[in-house]
Structure 1
């Protein structure tokens, strides 16, 4: 006979496992047979506890594949410009950043136009794989004029906020960002970087960041996993 106390005990045990990160966001739980043996309960009792966790939003069920921990979905507060690092920390998540490319090269015509510099001017390109709690979330490519960010050319930017490094090392404070978002599908390379399937949905964010006096200092392209990012904005109708 199944008792409510037994179901509650399993519910509390699994809740604690999720809280301490025993099962990472996006991961699949062990099979019901293994879990019931590990917890010393019947599969019927286990299923009731799992169903309760599903109602709580702590787990997701797939009829073919089993039980999964939902991925952390991040979203930008309306009308608030935050760096990736700030966005993660505000949600109690641990940000990470792995540098894939950090080199000086000539600016393209488009970059030069957006940054208000001469074509072929030297710029620093920074490619990074950004993560939250160890889960890859974003592939980020940023370009800044070398003359304005010379201190970053040889700096160690692993697990660093670029906004913060620009402020502390270069005296540049980002004030606003012109940002657009569009949907796309992950190609082979992007899928491998973000740990998702080829053709999986991604959100592509393109930005030009400015200082308070209106000077453009950064252009960037961010590729977010479609199941891990949500963009929010306040929209207003004009008056009559």
Structure 2
């Protein structure tokens, strides 16, 4: 049977947990932020550090907090990613989560397709393509560096548009009257180089996830090929996998 002191401690932990959980829910500590030091946080809540640590531990077990032995307690960044077996553009992915997508154009040019691109896109070598490289963000947090190569013959007028905050999938579908239906997609882990790290506001060598895709219309026509370099702390890929009958 619990003693009165143990009951009091348990009640204090539960109350501290409730207060911190409410603060997280209200955005007092936004995703990606570091909580105040344990001494200051315990004083602000009005409990001992041992009681605070138990409440913080409960929140960490639920995935609401992360702990670094060197730097303290952090609120995890909101992870984004496509729902299982659903093909979405970056803009669609953001809007589906109630976030505002933003882009900064790093490169937009018309050029001949390379041999490798021509093979993947099933066009003649040196066919005209649009290379579009953008820094993609959600609610002003940089998420990925996105480079796409699009067959210009399928989307007349695309090269003349300001693609800063336009969805590439939606724009291609509007201009071409085709429907983007599927993507051949692979994901691999890598370490960020200095240029990519600077754009994504992470340390050089920090982990990134690189997605490579070739996207097709519903009649099997290859529309675009692309490479997306995602911050590993802000993106995850999900898929439904099926065993053959």
- State the TM-score bracket (shorter-chain normalisation): 0.7 to 0.9
- The structure number with the bigger radius of gyration is 2
- Of the structure 1 ranges 177-186 and 113-122, higher mean CA displacement relative to structure 2 is found in 113-122
Residue-pair matches, total: 239
Partner of 1:53: 59
Report 1:168-207 matches (<5 A): 168-207=174-213
> Aligned pair 1:114/2:120, yes or no?
yes
> Aligned pair 1:231/2:237, yes or no?
yes
Distance in 1 between residues matched to 2:216 and 2:205, nearest whole Å: 33
Distance in 1 between residues matched to 2:30 and 2:109, nearest whole Å: 34
Residues 151 and 170, structure 1, Cα contact 8 Å, conserved in 2? no
SS in 1 for 2:164: coil
Structure 2 residue runs of 5 or longer lacking an equivalent are: none
Residues 145 and 229, structure 2, Cα contact 8 Å, conserved in 1? yes
For residues 52 and 235 of structure 1, do their structure 2 counterparts lie closer, same or farther at Cα, with a shift above 3 Å needed?
closer
For residues 56 and 233 of structure 1, do their structure 2 counterparts lie closer, same or farther at Cα, with a shift above 3 Å needed?
closer
Task: Tell me how far 1:217 sits from its aligned partner.
Answer: 1.0
Report 1:116-155 matches (<5 A): 116-155=122-161
Distance in 1 between residues matched to 2:231 and 2:225, nearest whole Å: 20
SS in 2 for 1:33: helix
SS in 2 for 1:54: helix
Task: Tell me how far 1:175 sits from its aligned partner.
Answer: 0.9
Distance in 1 between residues matched to 2:56 and 2:103, nearest whole Å: 34
For residues 94 and 46 of structure 1, do their structure 2 counterparts lie closer, same or farther at Cα, with a shift above 3 Å needed?
farther
Distance in 2 between residues matched to 1:8 and 1:135, nearest whole Å: 33
CA RMSD, 1 decimal: 2.5
Distance in 1 between residues matched to 2:47 and 2:144, nearest whole Å: 40
Partner of 2:37: 31
Q: Which of 75, 95, 100 does residue 101 from structure 2 map onto?
A: 95
Distance in 1 between residues matched to 2:13 and 2:244, nearest whole Å: 54
TM normalised by structure 1 equals 0.85
Structure 1 residue runs of 5 or longer lacking an equivalent are: none
Distance in 1 between residues matched to 2:35 and 2:160, nearest whole Å: 42
SS in 2 for 1:181: strand
Partner of 1:212: 218
Q: Any idea what the Cα deviations from partners look like across 1:115-137, whole Å, max 9, x if unmatched? A: 22232222211111222333222
SS in 2 for 1:58: coil
Task: Tell me how far 1:107 sits from its aligned partner.
Answer: 1.6
Task: Tell me how far 1:235 sits from its aligned partner.
Answer: 3.0
Q: Any idea what the Cα deviations from partners look like across 1:67-101, whole Å, max 9, x if unmatched? A: 01112223333322122222233334433322222
Task: Tell me how far 1:150 sits from its aligned partner.
Answer: 3.5
SS in 2 for 1:157: coil
Task: Tell me how far 1:139 sits from its aligned partner.
Answer: 1.2
TM normalised by structure 2 equals 0.83
Task: Tell me how far 1:3 sits from its aligned partner.
Answer: 5.8
